[in-house]
Amino acid sequence: MAAETDKPEKMMDVSVWRGGPDGGAFESFKAPQQESQTILDVVTYIQQNEDPSLAYRFACRVGMCGSCAMMVNGQPRWTCRTHVQKVLKDNKLVIAPLRNLPVIRDLATDMTVFFDKWTAAEASFTPTKTRHDPMAPINPETPERLAASEAIECINCAVCYAACDAVAGNEDYLGPAALNRAWTLVNDVRDGGHESRMDAVSAAGGCHNCHSMGNCAQFCPNELNPTASIAGLKRATVKAALGLRK
Amino acid sequence: MLDLRLYMLQRLSALILAPLVLTHIGVMIYAVQGGLSAAEILGRTQGSIPWMLFYGLFVAAVSVHASIGVRAVAAEWFGVRGSALSGLTLAVFAILGILGARAVYAVTAL
């Protein structure tokens, strides 16, 4: 540690978006570069040393809670697991609130619409048994369960939602996260909400608005592939409409 | 903007169009090899029920396919919504259908 503190601190330029629902602008800060530093560390440094009024959101700091996603140099990222070294360009960082969501203040977005769309997609489990029934035996090797397992590790960070150009062009589109969750439930043999969920994901803002651009899969920090999940939903809804399934 | 019904219509019309487009382009390339004139082409197509059915189906599929595609572009890029969007979709469908039907009539009717 002593050797590190002897070195002159290398500073970097950080532009942080400041403002509220009615607009705002970027404000420039300087922050010291450190070993293994994350974007969240930089934001926290600015809030603690430069401007305590800076608003941002985080909780776990270890990539589990999905609270701290922001736009970093124009791309959506989970800031607690994004190393500065990986994304620093010309010694500069540009940090902004997540795209496609209304801003509350500074870097904190209002995620209400994001979660409302999970509800609209019926992306919640509909139980078919009660707590008094025995546990349902689940074979982890069936194709349905494998498809569901591929897609379940979502942390609701909204990185995919911010990355999605279909959401940007169509405010009614349910988006990759909600539809990805719906796909896991379509493949869950314990779930009883199949028919109404198929209707929900087939409506005007549903899965058929996806252009398969793949931004969600590109940016998902947990390396999920919502594009593939949505393609699965498209196949399932078409099969159901043609009377070919379940 | 796109529900299951419009999605299915666009995919099914694409399925129909794929072989028709390839045949259309193939015949065009083949037909002009020997230096056919317009009159000679019309001589072959006018009164031909198969060509009328071929291009009639072609025009119908194009009208459905393109109007739904334009609908998506208008909604996502130009923010058209609601009844304006439905009106635009129907207008594109009607214009392509009418112009196409006139062309099919001119080329295949006696």
Domain boundaries, chain A: 2-109, 112-241
Q: Which residues of B touch A237 (CB under 8 A)?
A: 4
- Inter-chain Cβ pairs, chain A and chain B, closer than 8 A: 34
Report the alpha-carbon distance of residue A112 to residue A101 in Å, rounded. Answer: 9
Contact present, A99 and A71 (Cβ < 8 Å): yes
A206 contacts B3? CB cut-off 8 A: yes
B6 contacts A208? CB cut-off 8 A: yes
In this structure, whether the domain defined by A2-109 belongs to CATH 3.40.630.30 is answered with no
Q: Residue B103: give the domain boundaries.
A: 4-108
Give the other-Cβ count within 10 Å of A105's Cβ.
17
Q: What is the CATH number of the domain that holds B90?
A: 1.20.1300
Out of B3, B8, B77, whose CB is closest to A203? B3
Helices A226-241 and B4-32: crossing angle, nearest 10°?
90
Q: Where are the beta strands (DSSP E) in chain B?
A: none
Q: Which residues contact B92 (CB under 8 A, 6 or more apart)?
A: B63, B66, B67, B70, B71
In chain A, the residue whose alpha carbon lies closest to the alpha carbon of B4 is A202
CA distance A56 to chain B (A): 30
| Mutation target among A202, A209, A238, A245 for the B interface, most CBs of B within 10 A | A209
pLDDT in tens, chain A (246 residues): 445 556 678 999 999 999 999 999 999 999 999 999 999 999 999 999 999 999 999 999 999 999 999 999 999 999 999 999 999 999 999 999 999 999 999 999 999 999 999 999 999 999 999 999 999 899 999 999 999 999 999 999 999 999 999 999 999 999 999 999 999 999 999 999 999 999 999 999 999 999 999 999 999 999 999 999 999 999 999 999 998 865
Architecture of domain A112-241 in CATH?
Orthogonal Bundle (1.10)
Out of B2, B76, B77, whose CB is closest to A208? B2
A234 contacts B3? CB cut-off 8 A: no
Nearest 5°: the CA angle A51, A52, A58 is 115
A173 contacts B4? CB cut-off 8 A: no
The pLDDT of residue B30 is 87
What does the DSSP 8-state code read for residue A8? Answer: P
